[in-house]
A and B are shown apart, each in its own frame.
Chain A
Amino acid sequence: MSGSLALQVGALARRSVFRTLRQPAQVVPSLIFPMILVAINSAGLGKVTEIPGFPTDSFLTFALAIPFIQAGIFSVSNGGSDLARDIETGFLDRLALTPMSGVSLVTGQLAGVLVLGVAQGAIYLVVGLAAGAHFEAGLAGVPVLLALALCISFAFGCIGIFAALRLGTGEAVQGLFPVLFVFLFLSSMNLPRNLIEQDWFQTVATYNPVSYLIEGVRSLFIQGFDGEALALGFGFSIAIGLAFLAAASASLRTRLTRT
């Protein structure tokens, strides 16, 4: 990365991180809400571990992967809304009048999302362990978990940036929030795919990339180091991120029509 590009990315990244951390209304729900849900669902579905073939006897251990995805969904909404607000207020025009490159803008914008994503992952792990979840991968698995959290944040962050550049308003970006929850619910969120009874649901969950993100995280808690699950988790998250990053770059060329 050239010196000036690094400088631009650094300046925008710093701003992105500050902006994220200075909005408690964004940060706090994305930390607390998933934890509350997992607590409720673990207690509500605790008996599900008695289904033959269920991979663990702790539903909390099983379900702790879900907050990582919910955090990602929040980051689409929050990160995307921040960029959309820049577009609506004309701040993007201000940035366009500087030598800032499009690459710097997108990369810098992601910084806040990524920092929050890693912090969230660490918090979920600590709170989950304190509540009695088991982390089979052990100490060696912690950096792998945080790396996967980073990749998941990258994936959803890129979705948010693309949405902001394409749609241009915060309201429209927020409208994606329920759509993404659909992807979460139609996955192996509550049951392993092989235990889903309804064929059509199992098929949908199999084709849903979110299932592999969840299973990648979950594998660290239940199996330890499952190469296939981790490969799929990392692979899908990076692929989703890169695909939406490319789409975001194309949208940026339209949005930032400076000569």
Chain B
Amino acid sequence: MSLGRYRSVALVVAWRNLHNFFGNPALLIPSIMFPLFFFVAFAGGLSRVEDLPNFDFGSGYTAFQFSFVLMQASAFGGVFTGFGIARDFESGFGRRMMLAAPRRSALLTGYALSALVRALFIQLLLFGIALGAGMNVDGGAPQLIGMSALGLLVNVTALMWAAGIALRFRSIQAGPLMQIPVFLALFLAPVYVPLDLLEGWVHAVATFNPFTLIVESLRGLVSDEPFHTGAAFLAALALGAVFLAWALRGLRAAEAAGG
């Protein structure tokens, strides 16, 4: 299959998903509302937390929570694209696409492209609303671009996890299986307070959780106090690579089952 053909398959799959996403309020509105809602609830309801002794974050609690919400929105955006893959295969549309595409990995690339565009759209909205609400941003343009890039890597990673599940089960009933591990992985990171203010078993788990590195790095970028940014990108890339392999194996499973 020529590169041109691969690219056109990927682009048309991406176009179709984005067309459905932006054209369907039932998909679009929750994707916007949920991250906003969490941002408001956490930053608004828990702002007193920054008064805790040793809570040391110069840019304020809003920026602190924004970083988590950005990561969460990116991750769940990937999972929701995975839901779409499951629905496509359950309805038989996935089979139609597999019959048409000579190299099936182009389909996965198309889903990934659409997930990235969706994530970028949500990120821009979130940034706009957070800045409008008075969030302090001590980092400059490179830091903000870095935040976006890290978020997009999280998005693709989560998509590949969800895609692997979706392609193996080919049913939207597998939705909780896609969603719950991501939810747990995110919430076993420092959500409300920095890592050193976590206690007990959660502190131990969070210490080894790669999402801890990612969220703390995001916080470092927004506050212009870099925190292992390179390591965070490496961790995100490594996770992405692992789950890409997982998704590709899922694609083989779907092929073997006839879609």
A interface residues (Cβ-Cβ under 8 A, vs B):
29, 36-37, 40-41, 43-48, 50-51, 178, 182, 185-186, 189-191, 195-198, 200-201, 205
Contact status of A44 and B192, CB under 8 A, knowing A51-B52, A186-B41? yes
Instruction: Determine the distance from Cα of A144 to Cα of B153 in the docked complex, in whole angstroms.
Output: 50
Answer whether residue B187 sits at the interface, using C-beta atoms and an 8 A cutoff. yes
Pick from A44, A196, A205 the residue with the most CB of B within 10 Å. A44
Q: Which residues of chain B come closer than 8 Å to A196, judged between CB atoms? A: 45, 48
Q: Which residues of chain A come closer than 8 Å to B187, judged between CB atoms? A: 37, 40, 44
Answer whether residue B44 sits at the interface, using C-beta atoms and an 8 A cutoff. yes
Give the Cβ gap from A73 to chain B, nearest Cβ, in Å. 15
Q: Does the CB pair B45–A48 fall under 8 Å?
A: no
Q: Which residues of chain B come closer than 8 Å to A45, judged between CB atoms? A: 46, 49, 192-193
Q: Does the CB pair B52–A43 fall under 8 Å?
A: no
With beta carbons under 8 angstroms apart, the residue of A44, A48, A197 that contacts B191 is A44
User: Which of B12-20, B195-203, B224-232, B237-245 touches A?
Assistant: B195-203
Give the Cβ gap from A141 to chain B, nearest Cβ, in Å. 27
Contact status of A50 and B53, CB under 8 A, knowing A43-B200, A44-B191, A45-B193? yes
Answer whether residue B188 sits at the interface, using C-beta atoms and an 8 A cutoff. yes
Q: Does the CB pair A189–B199 fall under 8 Å?
A: no
- Report how many A-B pairs have Cβ atoms within 8 Å: 70
Give the Cβ gap from B213 to chain A, nearest Cβ, in Å. 17
Given contacts A47-B199, A178-B34, A198-B45, 5 further A-B pairs with CB under 8 A are A29-B176, A48-B52, A182-B37, A201-B44, A205-B45
Q: Which residues of chain B come closer than 8 Å to A29, judged between CB atoms? A: 176
Q: Does the CB pair B200–A185 fall under 8 Å?
A: no
Q: Does the CB pair B193–A40 fall under 8 Å?
A: no
Answer whether residue B207 sits at the interface, using C-beta atoms and an 8 A cutoff. no
Give the Cβ gap from A58 to chain B, nearest Cβ, in Å. 11
Q: Does the CB pair B197–A47 fall under 8 Å?
A: yes
* Contact code string B156-200 (vs A, CB < 8 Å = 1, else 0): 000000000000000000001000000010011011110001111
Q: Does the CB pair B48–A195 fall under 8 Å?
A: yes
With beta carbons under 8 angstroms apart, the residue of B38, B41, B53, B202 that contacts A40 is B202
Q: Does the CB pair B190–A186 fall under 8 Å?
A: no
Instruction: Determine the distance from Cα of A205 to Cα of B46 in the docked complex, in whole angstroms.
Output: 12
Answer whether residue B128 sits at the interface, using C-beta atoms and an 8 A cutoff. no
Q: Does the CB pair B48–A51 fall under 8 Å?
A: yes
